[in-house]
Structure 1
Amino acid sequence: MRTGNEPLTARSPLRLRFWLSVWGLLWAVAGTGLFAWNGRTGWAITCAVLVLLISADLMMVVHRLHQGAHYQPGREVPPYEPPEHGS
């Protein structure tokens, strides 16, 4: 249901972002190790930088998830009603 006020009532898919970050972190760590083992220093550094960025993003997502339902409502919380504007 589109109401036109989605920026005000949008919900962030933090759990999806968490699992995608974990998946990306696993690949970046594996890439760092494999590229370093094969002597591809430039690619290993690139993957290491990705590991740092993904780790920072993952820490922020975990912090937001721990803040509770105000920032990440679960399935039991219904969508917010659009604000009423006086005509």
Structure 2
Amino acid sequence: MRTGSEPRTARSALRARFWLSLWGLMWAIFGTAAFVLAGRPGWAAACGVLWLVALVDMAVVLRHRRQGPHYQPGPDVPPYAPAESGPPRRRPPSYRRPPRHRPT
């Protein structure tokens, strides 16, 4: 069941994102150095751009981690609004499909 509130209630795994950006940063630095030594300036520039992207991502992650925890629902709180009991909700009349016309 989707409620439509996912962007507001989404959580990010900042620790995993930090380690992935660190991994990408290390590979970008290695790639830049390797392509500079190999005499491939285009590929070295591409790795340099990846280096900057990984560095900016790491800075954003570190900033979010320093902000501290915000509201996080506990294990007893369901991730979505509970389903309403009772009859299923019907669509508004403007969204209903026209009835099928059956040949007689």
Q: What TM-score do the two structures reach when normalised by structure 2? A: 0.65
Task: Specify which structure has the bigger relative contact order, considering alpha-carbon pairs within 8 angstroms and separated by 6 or more residues.
Answer: 1
Matching of residues 1-87 of structure 1 within 5 Å: 4-5=2-3, 7=6, 8-70=8-70, 78-79=74-75, 80-81=77-78, 82=80
AA at the equivalent of 2:24: G
Alignment partners' CA distance in 2, 1:56 and 1:10: 21
1:11-58, CA deviations, whole angstroms, 9 ceiling, x for partnerless residues?
111111110000000000000000000101110010011111111111
Q: Which has the larger radius of gyration?
A: 2
Alignment partners' CA distance in 1, 2:69 and 2:81: 20
Q: Shift in Å at residue 83 of structure 1?
A: 5.5
Alignment partners' CA distance in 2, 1:47 and 1:33: 9
In angstroms, what is the RMSD of aligned CA positions? 2.6
- Which runs of structure 1 show a deviation greater than 2 angstroms over 4 or more consecutive aligned residues? 3-6, 79-84
Unmatched segments (≥5 aa) in structure 1: none
Task: Point out the structure with the larger helix share.
Answer: 1
Q: Shift in Å at residue 9 of structure 1?
A: 2.1
Q: What TM-score do the two structures reach when normalised by structure 1? A: 0.76
Alignment partners' CA distance in 2, 1:50 and 1:10: 26
3-state SS of the aligned residue for 1:20?
Answer: helix
Unmatched segments (≥5 aa) in structure 2: 83-104
Q: Shift in Å at residue 4 of structure 1?
A: 2.7
